[in-house]
Amino acid sequence: MQASVLTDRSPSFALLRWYDSNARVLPWRSPPGAAPPDPYRVWLSEVMLQQTTVAAVQPYFARFVERWPSVAALAAADEADVMAAWAGLGYYSRARNLIACARVVARDGAFPDHEAGLRALPGLGAYTAAAVAAIAFDRPAVVVDANVERVVARLFAIAEPSPASRPAIRAATATITPSVRPGDFAQAMMDLGATVCTARNPRCLLCPLRPMCRAQAQGVAETLPAKLAKKAKPHRTGHAWWIERDGAVWLVRRPDKGMLGGMRALPDDGWTARADGHAQPPFAGIWRKGGVVRHSFTHFDFDLQLMLCEGPEMVHLSAGEYWPIEAMESAGLPTVFAKAARLALAQR
Ligand code: SF4
């Protein structure tokens, strides 16, 4: 990778000067120009921020670092506690990889301080490894998230739609990534994309890159990056069973592999493993419909029919536990089941 040097006419110079007075203040960051932050906090924030907004991540980040203030503490945590603490943040494979990665780092004593070593850790893809290398270790790694992709597509007027444009965007980003303050540069690009070079109505008049921005000069900023027409999402349906007894509801632990793996949940009819099918209650009881929960996953839209058991006094179910309804919040249900629980409780 070729990192650029800073000259007062380079994009990185202009951007870093802007960043010095416009950086977002975030709990996992160091101020511009300061020593890099704790790699644990950088890594944790970057994993949480994958496909998730800064606003959604902040309370989770605060709870995680309060409960597990170091990678060693997280490595020693009970897996079920981490999964429950992650509930609601989505993309649950991230939480499983988080624990696996923490255990490797704790065993080795520290995070690797370079991109290749980070890339070898569980759950660290190319983006996260580059981001941690740049932000925590000030390595001149090429960091391209969705914000950076948009800024670079505009700066260089790259008209090809994503994902075909990614190699060109990455190559262009490499040409402007400086060898001086590369961590601040990566964060500055993210901040510029989040606050100035926004998807709609980019604020070009306030932008430090305006003098060198090709899309702005050509009047095409808002049309970039080009997008392919979105395909309609498929639709799935499923059933979940609400089995209540003495102020408690029956919850199961989902299998480790597959959607929402390892999470506590209501029992269901296996909808995650198929496109559609027949509802098969866990026992023959008197069931009534309790409403439908609508939820949108990345790859499909989903209707979950909630079924409430009004049947026998007590049924022995093989795997699971009766969870006190008054402690429902601490069950760590993923969002679709948390919605179903709220629906059931609203009918009591
Ligand atoms: Fe984005 Fe406008 Fe700045 Fe170009 S000038 S990088 S389009 S905000």
User: Does the CB atom of residue 153 touch ligand 1 within 6 A?
Assistant: no
Which stretch of 36-40, 236-240, 277-281, 287-291 has the lowest confidence by average pLDDT? 277-281
Q: What is the C-alpha to C-alpha distance for residues 86 and 166, in angstroms, rounded to an integer?
A: 30
Residue type, 23: A
Residue nearest to atom 5 of ligand 1 (CA): 210
pLDDT band at 274 (very low <50, low <70, confident <90, very high): low
Strands (DSSP E) found in the chain: 235-242, 244-245, 248-253, 264-265, 287-296, 301-309, 321-324
Lookup: tokens for 114: 């370079």
Handedness of CA 100, 104, 109, 115 (dihedral sign): negative
User: Does the CB atom of residue 194 touch ligand 1 within 6 A?
Assistant: no
Q: What pLDDT sits at residue 316? A: 61
User: Does the CB atom of residue 151 touch ligand 1 within 6 A?
Assistant: yes
Q: Which atom of ligand 1 is nearest to the CA of 202?
A: 8
Q: In the CATH scheme, what is the code of domain 235-345? A: 3.90.79.10
Lookup: tokens for 103: 């255990």
For residues 115-139, one letter each, b for 16 or more C-beta atoms within 10 angstroms of the residue's C-beta and e for the rest, the string is beebbebebbeebbbbbbbbbbbbb
> Torsion over CA of 283, 288, 292 and 293, rounded to 10 degrees?
-50
Residue of 43, 61, 45, 64 lying closest to 111 (CA atoms): 43
The arithmetic mean of pLDDT across residues 269-297, rounded, is 80
User: Does the CB atom of residue 196 touch ligand 1 within 6 A?
Assistant: yes
245 has a pLDDT exceeding 70: yes
- Ranges in the chain annotated CATH 1.10.340.30: 11-142+179-208
151 CA to middle of ligand 1, Å? 7
Q: In the CATH scheme, what is the code of domain 11-142+179-208? A: 1.10.340.30
Residue 234: CB atoms within 10 A of its CB come to 10
DSSP letters, 120-186, are: TSTT--HHHHHHHHHHHH--------HHHHHHHHHHTT--SPTTTTHHHHHHHHHHH-BSSSHHHHH
79 annotated active-site: no
φ/ψ of residue 112, rounded to 5: -60, 145
8 has a pLDDT exceeding 80: no
Q: What pLDDT sits at residue 280? A: 74
213 CA to middle of ligand 1, Å? 6
pLDDT band at 74 (very low <50, low <70, confident <90, very high): very high
93 CA to middle of ligand 1, Å? 35
- Ranges in the chain annotated CATH 3.90.79.10: 235-345
9 has a pLDDT exceeding 90: no
Lookup: tokens for 24: 């977002």
Please tell me what DSSP assigns to residue 268: B
Q: What is the pTM of this model?
A: 0.81
Mutate to test the pocket of ligand 1, among 15, 19, 148, 155 (most ligand atoms within 8 A of CB): 155
User: Does the CB atom of residue 202 touch ligand 1 within 6 A?
Assistant: yes
User: Does the CB atom of residue 176 touch ligand 1 within 6 A?
Assistant: no
CB within 8 Å of 162: residues ≥ 6 apart? 149, 169, 225, 226, 227, 228
- Max Cα distance, the chain (Å): 77
pLDDT per residue as tens digits for the range 121-153: 999 999 999 999 999 999 999 999 999 999 999
pLDDT per residue as tens digits for the range 194-240: 999 999 999 999 999 999 999 999 999 999 999 888 888 899 999 99
